[in-house]
Structure 1
């Protein structure tokens, strides 16, 4: 039993913990992300610190164990936020942690004054799409490859704030 989960926003000083959970996410669900485990493993401490300085990254923990993460980036072109890097550890799935993470990034975007939150989800990831639908996201009709040269597809969803 993990216990009750808490959410906190990471700072650049939390780079090692962020690295660890991001590597776990990429190892667990490589088809859900545009980046790869090998690419993330090659990042330096400075790279990880820079990532955390450029985004709002949230971490879910329970019983001293990190069990999930989600990030938010400024999307000034759309006057919105871009939800990225959503992942919950297998042992914490179905416990409400994903909802806590979603509410954290949506609250961050609303407090920042954004009008919407956008995200992309890999085609076929029905569990993630159901989560996003429960939190008010809808498909926009935009879709394309996950990354340049990658045959996997993703589609865009948005939630107006």
Structure 2
């Protein structure tokens, strides 16, 4: 599975079912990587999924018609930037360039929509993700926090100036 066979598409609200499917896979595969839970995601209604897509640029990568990864960009006017969230790639597609294509899609979206920076958080110890973001020019900002109120695991912020 080489990078050349990867197709990345921007989802619309009408793609809510595909989004739900890949998000549930991501949460089942790597629950430690997200601030949300599989249980919470399963409880969402169809309309909830549509609304999520209405407020983000959600990208999905596919290979041979199979969805193998996802990442999203959120507009953050308070920080004059975009927030890269919900990054996940299926195990069979890791190390094939899919993650690079997804990061590039979010960064390109940020540039196209006039953002001056992209920021994200990485769970402490997730060295593969940190290496991915470093390859794309992100740097640690020195800001650290917890993944969420119910998840005290540490995470750190990374930033890309555009």
TM-score by length of 2: 0.97
Matches within 5 A, 1:35-54: 35-54=36-55
Separation in structure 1 between the aligned mates of residue 17 and residue 36 of structure 2, nearest angstrom: 18
What is the match of residue 69 of structure 1?
A: 70
Matched, 1:33 2:38: no
Cα distance per residue 1:66-101 (max 9 Å; x no partner): 000000000100110000000001000011000110
Count, aligned residues: 161
Aligned pairs (5 A) from 1:82-161: 82-161=83-162
**Cα distance between partner residues in 2 of 1:23 and 1:150:** 19
Which residue does 2:12 correspond to in 1? 11
Between stretches 149-158 and 127-136, larger displacement belongs to 149-158
SS in 1 for 2:83: strand
- After superposing the two structures, state which structure 1 stretch, 149-158 or 122-131, moved more: 149-158
Unaligned segments of structure 1, at least 5 residues: none
Instruction: State the 1:149 CA deviation.
Output: 3.2
User: Which runs of 5 or more residues in structure 2 are unaligned?
Assistant: none
Q: Which runs of 4+ in 1 moved over 6 A?
A: none
TM-score, scaled to structure 1: 0.97
